[in-house]
């Protein structure tokens, strides 16, 4: 828990540097061109992430699936539809979220990402988190949990809990794909999401207004918002 003085210093620091869409697009460009691991050979295209640079919530999934690989956007399939429902259940929309994955290229046949593939992609996620500085990072499933909180307990213990590490707030959740055909997991996901609403309200009350990027918005930038 931050003291009042720490909170004030932290908010001052945040006010000094507004993240820009250009900076985010620059990271996206490097991800699209990345050939650091074997997944680039079989991808149709990389899936860097999607959402506004001003998003207060970041969601991190596992890896693009077939539809994501075709469309270049994360969570556009059935799991994405459930993610949208979850977000809407707490009065938000997908436009309030920046969504990305642990690896940015589809593993062939939707197999699990290999550790060296996760490592090769890792610095992109660090850069995106450092740029956006979201109030809450939703960790979707065990692969994202292993990547973001490697020393923590498993998802079945931590789901819905708020975990604060190095000034970042994480909430592990079951992966929406796991809940697609499991009614009780689905219920748990919605209950956990309701807790996220409370965490966000708390974060909101602690922070100063965030400066919005002042640069003009061009068509490429707008495409980040068009869902």
* Shortest distance, position 71 Cβ to ligand URA, whole Å: 10
Q: In whole angstroms, give the CA distance from residue 197 to residue 187.
A: 16
Taking alpha carbons only, the member of 201, 197, 206, 136 closest to residue 171 is: 136
Cβ nearer to ligand URA, comparing 79 with 145: 79
* Shortest distance, position 203 Cβ to ligand URA, whole Å: 24
Whole-number CA gyration radius for the chain:
17
Give the residue at shortest CB distance from ligand URA.
61
Cβ nearer to ligand URA, comparing 79 with 92: 79
Among left, alpha and beta (phi > 0; psi -120 to 50; other), residue 109 is left
Binding site for ligand URA (CB under 6 A): 61-65, 68, 74-75, 77, 79, 101, 177
Q: In whole angstroms, give the CA distance from residue 52 to residue 226.
A: 10
Cβ nearer to ligand URA, comparing 182 with 212: 182
* Shortest distance, position 11 Cβ to ligand URA, whole Å: 32
Cβ nearer to ligand URA, comparing 75 with 170: 75
Cβ nearer to ligand URA, comparing 56 with 147: 147
In contact, 100 and 46? CB cutoff 8 Å: no
Cβ nearer to ligand URA, comparing 203 with 227: 227
* Shortest distance, position 28 Cβ to ligand URA, whole Å: 15
* Shortest distance, position 62 Cβ to ligand URA, whole Å: 3
* Shortest distance, position 113 Cβ to ligand URA, whole Å: 10
């Amino acid at each position: 828990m931050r003291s009042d003085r720490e909170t004030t210093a932290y908010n001052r620091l945040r006010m000094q540097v507004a993240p820009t869409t250009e900076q985010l697009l620059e990271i996206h460009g490097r991800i699209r061109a990345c050939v650091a691991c074997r997944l680039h050979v079989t991808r149709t295209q990389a899936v860097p992430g999607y959402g506004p640079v001003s998003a207060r919530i970041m969601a991190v999934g596992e890896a693009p699936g077939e539809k994501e690989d075709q469309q270049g956007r994360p969570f556009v399939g059935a799991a994405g539809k459930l993610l949208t429902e979850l977000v809407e259940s707490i009065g938000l929309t997908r436009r309030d979220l920046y969504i990305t994955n642990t690896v940015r290229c589809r593993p062939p046949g939707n197999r699990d990402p290999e550790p060296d593939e996760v490592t090769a992609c890792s610095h992109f996620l660090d850069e995106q988190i450092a740029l956006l500085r979201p109030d809450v990072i939703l960790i979707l499933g065990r692969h994202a949990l292993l990547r973001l909180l490697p020393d923590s307990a498993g998802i079945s213990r931590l789901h819905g809990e708020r975990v604060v590490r190095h000034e970042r707030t994480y909430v592990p959740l079951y992966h929406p794909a796991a809940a697609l055909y499991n009614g009780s997991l689905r219920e748990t996901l919605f209950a956990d999401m309701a807790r996220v609403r409370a965490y966000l309200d708390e974060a909101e009350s602690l922070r100063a207004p965030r400066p919005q990027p002042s640069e003009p918005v061009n068509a490429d930038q707008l495409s980040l918002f068009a869902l």
